[in-house]
Structure 1
Amino acid sequence: MEKVPTRLNVAPVPPDEIFALNGAFFADTHPQKVSLGVGVYRTDDGKPWPLPVVEKAEKQLAQENDLMRHEYTAIEGDVPFLKIARDLMFGFEGGETTQQEAKARIASVQTVAGTGANHLGALFLSHHMKPPTVWLSNPSWANHMTIWELAGVPRKTYPYYHAETRSFDFDGMMSTLENDAQEGDAVLLHACAHNPTGLDPNKEQWIAIADLCERKKLFPFFDSAYQGFASGSVEEDAWAVRYFFNNKPDMEMCVAQSFSKNFGLYGQRTGAFHYVTNRSATSIRDVVVNNLCHLIRGEFSMGPRIGCTIVKKILTSEELTADWHQDLQVMSSRIKSMREALYNELVRLHTPGTWKHIVEQNGMFSYTGLTPKQVYALKDKYHVYLLKSGRASISGLSEKNVAYVSQAIDDVVRNVL
């Protein structure tokens, strides 16, 4: 049979490490296997945790039996939800006049979760701002590189992680952006709970980063994936975004906002993208929304309805909002306690090296400092799964497995170089 030539010019691309690792974990039949790879919240029994407040909202919505619940929304998304998402992110305070002036700077659209918000923002900037370069932290969430590559924007990295001290490399970041970033470049910033390191700038450092962006005319692009989930406080986790917004009103910026972690809506793909104009350019806000809708229409037409309806239901009820804040405390507190438990076990075992960074880091992930060889040994010998970079999802730890994981880490640190 004669072969018909294809017109495609394709080559294999590497599989996504996180999803490949998760697949290997599920295929593993070892009774003591532990998943520290995928970034999802788990209970101390290692099971998913639909937030109790989300279950309450779902029951109320089912009782209401809204006939419109499966209908199309607008291209920009569910407009009441977008106002709620905006207010949650930017935390407006002060008099009504001040609030209206501030809100007039923000163009918001609904997206397919945080990934979709990052993608839409990158695509929008590549079309309409044409940044010469986007600066990503080294390391960063691996998908950031893919998103900006597909948007066609040249990518460079700024130092973020100091391996020897296992700390945030603030001086390296500032020096690189000061010396090498050019006017019009975009800078990707993690709003809180930096993925994968779990290391965030302190408030004084955030202020210095904002000053540098303003002075060098750089464009801040915030990725906010963990608001309320990291510290348990939505205000604390939005501090950097709100500082830039309130204190640099002549600087434009944007925010990709996810509701996957803080509402446990991983599969509902709920997110928003906010473009912030400077205070003298509020007249273009509606044009920005119009152009974002043009991209949305050609790609997915409109955001999913179910997840945003749940968020809207919760955040328009004082009772449910209070319940949500309590659920945030439950999740953030458990992760903090697992950090402490892992650290305490490693200290008890006298595991070589320093492990203080585990409790000094923040949010779901820890950059453990383990080498790729040690990571592979953990998987092959102990069936403990984490990324080859040494990034561990602390949510996968529990009172039942933390001693086992600690013993495994102690073994590979002592015996695998």
Structure 2
Amino acid sequence: MPTTQDFEYLLECRNVIGVDYDEDEREVRVFVSRKLPPDALADEDDVEKRVREVGDADVTVDVVDAGYDEEREGFDALSTLEAVPEAAAGRSDRRRPVPAGASEANANLTAGTGGPYPARVTGDGDALWDEAIEPNDLVRLSNNHVYARSNAADLGESILQPSPHDGGGPNDEVGELVGYVPVEDGVRVDVAARSVDPERESDRYAELDEAWPTGVRRDAYDELRGETVTKTGRTTGVTSATVEATSASVAVEFGAEQGTVRLRDQLIAGYMSEGGDSGSPVFLEDGELVGLLFAGSAQQTICNRIGNVERELGVEILLEEPGEDDGADDGGDEENGDDAGDERDAPVYTTTFATDLEVALEGPILELESLTFDEPPRPRSRIGATVVVTASEPGSYWLEVADERRTFDVPDPGAGGDDLRRAVAVDIDVPDGANDVFSVAVAGGRIE
């Protein structure tokens, strides 16, 4: 039976930038940068004639306009565009802990989106990895062209959140480039990984249901044709579209240095992205993770199959952050009780306060002395906030807000100093059913 690759010869035709074959419908869908009438095309550029010439007389041809209105060699890799649109509200903010879907990119790029986390390195695949990375290490994913600058970056380059275009600088580094799959003809993914500090990372996906991802789809992608998918990204926030193709071969422009690259096995949905959304995670309506967004046009959005991302990079995307016993063997001698030393050295979290704050949903909220929001809270939103705490003396402390715990140090203010206050940035989910008020659980204390 024919497959999409059997129709890749159509990519040689004028304006053709993508093809996909639907075996069930015996239909080849051809994506063109500009749709022209048959009498404006030479015979070698007429896709219907080309299909008939190779003997597929019973195959239906559907020509789809990508909306460029000009002749092009490929779709756009969305974070290689020179003119990156401004980010959606809140997506260009500095976020700690870092959620997926926020502005994030290589320090030498413009802007992109941080993708799935946590992903655990398996050691499989043919990706290029930093020698310091070992199986079971955790990483965050995005596109090669977002983290690795389309193969041009050196391992170890800084990744910033927010992206440079959104004001990110040296103090906003959240990790380093530690691995990627090279972008080259015939590849199935545009993916890279950065290092993480788990205490500064969130396994949440900005503005999406906190239970997502409910699963990771690793097969049966042909069943997705006609399904609705949703992404969360830096530029256009949360958007949805219908899947139009599930095994597409596409030509994508990666900029002057890398040129046009052919990728296979791609998902194509309708419009739901713009420049800077590259790296966005893509979900089904039930929260199953299905794709990693990387390219598109004014009419289409192109995503890697997430199963290919895992296999070719050599990672496993986890549904939640692993517990203390889920990591790699620490090398301790169980027979001799060496592991006990880790327990004795673990920090002890002593509670010195725990309270619930009632927060008004209407009107100004910056008058709150210990908790201020970046914007007025609205039901079903995830917003940034700042909690101000005062320590009794210098030391290490912990703060837990809405079940997310982080640690910090309060330095000695110096001789004669009395400023032991600390402002801690947090993210807070406003519940769907909130009416006039909602509760935010806040707790904290010293680490002894």
**Which category of TM-score, normalised to the shorter sequence, fits these structures?**
under 0.3
More helix as a share of residues: 1
The normalised TM-score by structure 1 is 0.28
Larger Rg: 2
TM-score (norm: length of structure 2)? 0.26
Relative contact order: is structure 1 or structure 2 higher (C-alpha 8 Å, sep ≥ 6)? Answer: 1
Looking at secondary structure, tell me which structure has more strand per residue: 2
